[in-house]
Amino acid sequence: MYLTVHAAAGAVIGNYINNAFLAFILGFISHFILDRIPHKDPDSADNFLEHKLRLSKRTRKFLAILFIDALMLIMFTMMFYNRDIFIYPHPVIAGIVGAILPDALAGLYFLTGNKYLGKFWEFHKRIHFDHKRVTVSVTGGMLTQVVLLAILVRMIIHRFLNYTG
């Protein structure tokens, strides 16, 4: 699942809970729940990570997708943050950080080879949706993420409108 979707879920959590620590923890947990939803990313991160950063054409494509995803995440967060859409800004940021942290830790493992992060990666991979057991097309997997992102953004806007209205 793309970071933008995980971050939106963390933002929703933080926008409803006025407690940064709890938002962080729930954001972290939400990551694993979202990863269980059937989805598939183009040139899956699993394939990229399993080949440990080879700079092939496939790797460059993955890095481009990752860059675009991170850019969307930053733009999404700053747009809502600057327009005071978030009811509880600090818990929102904590929820976002918690929600994207598992993927950041996985990336850190592949950069450092740390054995403890490796154990975390194995856990993360084990509970992740297995698109090899249940086939999901790239189109279907992307559609799932787009719909989920739209629902999460709608929840943020709905919360803002009901809070201010």
Number of domains comprising the chain: 1
Task: Tell me which residues of the chain have a pLDDT lower than 50.
Answer: 44
Q: What does the pLDDT read at residue 86?
A: 75
Q: What does the pLDDT read at residue 30?
A: 97
What would the two tokens of residue 2 be?
């793309």
Predicted structure pTM score:
0.77
Cβ count within 10 A of residue 161: 10
Angle in degrees, CA 3, 135, 126, rounded to 5: 55
Q: What does the pLDDT read at residue 158?
A: 85
Q: How many helices (H) and strands (E) does the chain have?
A: 7, 0
What range does the domain containing 135 cover? 3-164
